[in-house]
């Protein structure tokens, strides 16, 4: 094992969305992760192993006494336990925080849900779109006539998995000093709300309007938006600051034609002229035209194109997998990016228990 989290033992109960994504981050950083999966479920749904990489996978039937015994034996040797079931489900299995910590007082018991462990919606089903809908995030994203889901990046991964990783690492740091673990309640509602902190602050200061398509960062500004190019593709424009805006206007050869951008009444005309000019060339022609400038113009790349762009390619942001690419580990330490966690491997519960009991990684 290598990496900054080498020696950190994480027991992950199979779930969807933010739990395995958080496990991916921890595995890329060198944590030793054993993932408990339902019998017969190994290998689905992440066929390339991009998210499930870096684990030892064991199949355990948690509904049997033997399965619960094996799970508790692994929890007894772990630093962190990750679970993403509805509130109360682990307790009904006899695997709740009190059950696990009776065997391991230092255990950090990290719980990931959409609504949280408490509150009137705690037991209700939901998905990313529902969680961000209650935080104002979904309301703020989309076109003026309708909100649009931003994939599941805000709730599952930004508001869920990222906050889960931060919280459990903080609790694990404390446990190493205090000798006592904590039960961590992370919800996508809470995390998504935290992601909106800047916008809520701007709203209170009168710097943000509570509607879509009229603000600085939601497409309201003509110089912070996307434009269709002559080949039907798009460029992204982010020329917020005056110097960047000047470079954009100069690059579009519109210095003599545009009205003052400080007057909101002029924005439709500015947008019209931008759209007409960008439609006169292809996306890649504009990308080449603005290369090396501070106009903040970039091509909008497809998932297939992004790994081949010179910048992420030079940084190693993606790695080859199957017939395409998957994201690499997202951290550089002293200028070096750790390799992504290895492909997941399988082990029996007894092999995993023995490996952790003997202080070796079950690989």
CB atoms within 10 A of CB 314: 8
The radius of gyration of the chain from alpha carbons, rounded to an integer in Å, stands at 24
Of 28, 79, 128, 156, the active-site residue reads 156
Three-state SS for 305-352 is CHHHCHHHHHHCCEEEECCEEEECCCCCECCECCCCCCCCEECCHHHH
Nearest to 82 by CA among 151, 24, 6, 4: 24
CA distance 318 to 219: 29
* 309 counts as catalytic: no
**210 included as an active-site residue:** no
Of 42, 46, 99, 127, catalytic: 127
Helix runs in the chain, H state only: 18-28, 65-77, 89-92, 97-103, 128-133, 137-140, 162-178, 188-195, 197-204, 242-251, 267-278, 283-290, 310-315, 349-358
Active site residues: 127, 156
């Amino acid at each position: 094992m290598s990496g900054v989290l080498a020696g950190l033992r994480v027991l992950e109960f199979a779930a969807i969305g933010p739990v395995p994504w958080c496990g991916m981050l921890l595995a890329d950083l060198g944590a030793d992760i054993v993932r408990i999966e339902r019998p017969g479920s190994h290998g689905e749904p992440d066929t390339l192993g991009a998210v499930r990489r870096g684990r030892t996978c064991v199949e355990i039937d948690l509904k049997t006494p033997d399965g619960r015994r094996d799970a508790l034996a692994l929890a007894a040797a772990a630093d962190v336990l990750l679970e993403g079931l509805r509130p109360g489900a682990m307790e009904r299995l006899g695997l709740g925080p009190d059950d696990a910590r009776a065997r391991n007082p230092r255990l950090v018991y990290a719980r990931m849900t959409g609504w949280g462990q408490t509150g009137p919606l705690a037991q209700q089903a939901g998905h990313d779109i529902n969680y961000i809908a209650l935080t104002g995030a979904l309301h703020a994203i989309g076109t003026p006539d309708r909100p649009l889901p931003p994939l599941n990046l805000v709730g599952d991964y930004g508001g869920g998995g990222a906050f889960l990783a931060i919280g459990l690492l903080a609790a694990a740091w404390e446990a190493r000093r205090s000798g006592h673990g904590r039960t961590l309640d992370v919800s996508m509602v809470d995390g998504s709300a935290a992601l909106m902190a800047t916008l809520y602050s701007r709203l209170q200061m009168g710097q943000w309007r509570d509607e879509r398509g009229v603000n600085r960062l939601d497409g309201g500004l003509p110089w912070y938006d996307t434009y269709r190019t002559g080949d039907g593709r798009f460029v992204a424009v982010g020329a917020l600051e005056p110097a960047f805006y000047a470079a954009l206007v100069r690059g579009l050869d519109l210095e003599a034609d545009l009205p003052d951008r400080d007057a909101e009444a002029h924005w439709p005309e500015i947008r019209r002229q931008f759209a007409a000019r960008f439609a006169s060339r292809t996306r890649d022609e504009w990308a080449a035209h603005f290369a090396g400038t501070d106009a903040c113009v970039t091509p909008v790349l497809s998932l297939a194109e992004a790994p081949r762009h010179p910048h992420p390619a030079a940084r190693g942001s993606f790695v080859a997998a199957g017939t395409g690419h998957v994201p690499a580990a997202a951290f550089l330490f002293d200028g070096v990016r750790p390799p992504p966690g290895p492909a997941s491997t399988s082990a029996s519960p007894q092999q995993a228990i023995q490996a952790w009991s003997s202080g070796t990684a079950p690989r």
